[in-house]
């Protein structure tokens, strides 16, 4: 099997590692490469495999897991797998697994905080999506209906489920005015569509206008670029006319919170997603917090989603009610370009690496 691996900037690549790329990940040098390893062994009759499934990954995306990022900690001196989101084929199932069968196509169910899948099994490391063949507890997998593309579903476990969870937490209702920030990210694009499906009037705010065409196609009433003074002034004027937005969905709150919170209306709902970036970490948040208090507004955090959120995303994608735009697809030796594209803040949609052709 093929495995994409990563290690600290001064570490020695494992034997046989190809296509080594040195990339700066939020200030730390990390090295990435491609190695070939024996397939993971799996005896379905063994007691320790009774609740487990062997899968072969078709395509994956970084999701929440990348060495060198704050949530993953410093890149290790030993080289490790990375990435949390994948789409895979089931190769074999343990003796106690009745909900999945060889040939099924699955995605992982990611949870925060992590929980044991059953009383006797250990916590699993979700950051192994770049390992082509792996052993996964059946409770951490969701079976997919036929007809869905690998690239789209490989972005669902983090971006799709988180977006649906954020809209659910905000209790978006018909007629609500909703502002979605970081509008080019996969999470934001899914949140925009989820809010529209709930009957809201949706607006978008981003730091560049790169996603404007896609946003219009997805039904956004008006998109704004915070880097353009005229655009930002128009967003301010719109918020004034609306007497503030009813809901703000902010997947990258460190980058947008201090600006976006000013646009929230009285008794508004602000849902912030997990943001691993270090931007604005030392900023003075007193004024922004004071704005929430003065408006009788509330702020909720949402990291990842639940199984029901992921199932709802899959159902909407299968029914044609949802699109998951994919910005770039990579395979083979394109390890460095895959990571760089995944880290590009100006991309529109997801970025995936495919082990196999669809």
- Chain-wide mean pLDDT for the chain? 90
Sheet containing strand 2-8, strands side by side? 2-8, 28-36, 18-25
| Cα gap 209→234, rounded to integer Å | 14
Give me the pLDDT at residue 25, please.
82
Q: Is the pLDDT of residue 284 over 50?
A: yes
Give me the pLDDT at residue 208, please.
81
Q: Percent of the chain, pLDDT > 90? A: 65
Q: Is the pLDDT of residue 296 over 50?
A: yes
Confidence of residue 72 (pLDDT cuts 50, 70, 90): low
| Cα gap 323→214, rounded to integer Å | 11
Sheet containing strand 245-250, strands side by side? 222-225, 201-206, 177-180, 245-250, 264-273, 298-302
The CATH architecture to which 2-155+324-354 belongs is: Alpha-Beta Complex (3.90)
| Cα gap 335→28, rounded to integer Å | 18
**Residue of 39 and 118 predicted with greater confidence:** 39
Mean pLDDT of 48-59: 97
Instruction: Flag whether the pTM goes above 0.75.
Output: yes
Sign of torsion over alpha carbons 39, 43, 46, 50 = positive
Is the separation of the CB atoms in 287 and 258 below 8 Å? yes
Give me the pLDDT at residue 70, please.
47
As annotated, the residues of the chain forming the CATH 3.40.50.720 domain(s) are 160-302
**Residue of 288 and 353 predicted with greater confidence:** 353
| Cα gap 338→130, rounded to integer Å | 12
Residue 227: φ, ψ to 5°: -80, -10
Q: Give CATH superfamily name and number for 160-302.
A: NAD(P)-binding Rossmann-like Domain (3.40.50.720)
């Amino acid at each position: 099997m093929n495995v994409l691996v990563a290690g600290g900037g001064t570490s020695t690549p494992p034997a046989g590692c190809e296509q080594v790329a040195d990339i700066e990940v939020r200030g730390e040098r990390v090295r990435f490469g491609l190695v070939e390893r024996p397939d993971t062994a799996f005896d379905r009759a063994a007691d320790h495999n009774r609740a487990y499934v062997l899968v072969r990954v078709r395509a994956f995306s970084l999701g929440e897991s990348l060495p060198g990022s704050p949530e993953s900690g410093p890149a290790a001196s030993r080289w490790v797998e990375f990435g949390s989101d994948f789409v895979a084929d089931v190769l074999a199932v343990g003796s106690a697994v009745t909900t999945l069968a060889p040939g099924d196509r699955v995605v992982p169910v990611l949870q925060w905080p992590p929980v044991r899948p059953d009383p006797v099994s250990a916590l699993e490391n979700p950051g192994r999506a770049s390992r082509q063949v792996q052993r996964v507890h059946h409770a951490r997998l969701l079976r997919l209906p036929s007809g869905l593309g690998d690239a789209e579903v490989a972005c669902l476990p983090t971006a799709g489920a988180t977006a649906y969870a954020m809209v659910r937490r905000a209790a978006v209702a018909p007629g609500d005015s909703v502002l979605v920030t970081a509008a080019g990210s996969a999470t934001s694009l899914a949140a925009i569509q989820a809010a529209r499906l709930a009957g809201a009037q949706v607006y978008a705010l981003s730091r560049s206008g790169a996603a404007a065409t896609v946003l219009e196609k997805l039904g956004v009433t008006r998109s704004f670029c915070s880097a353009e003074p005229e655009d930002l002034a128009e967003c301010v004027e719109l918020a004034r006319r609306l007497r503030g937005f009813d809901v703000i969905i902010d997947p990258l709150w460190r980058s947008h919170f201090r600006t976006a919170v000013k646009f929230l209306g009285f008794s508004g709902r602000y849902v912030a997603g997990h943001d691993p970036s270090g931007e604005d970490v030392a900023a003075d948040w007193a004024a922004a917090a004071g704005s929430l208090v003065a408006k009788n507004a509330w702020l909720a955090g949402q990291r990842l989603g639940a199984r029901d959120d992921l199932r709802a995303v899959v159902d909407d994608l299968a029914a044609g009610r949802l699109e998951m735009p994919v910005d770039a697809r990579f395979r083979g030796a394109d390890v460095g370009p895959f990571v760089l594209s995944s880290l590009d803040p100006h991309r529109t949609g997801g970025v995936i690496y495919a082990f196999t052709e669809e």
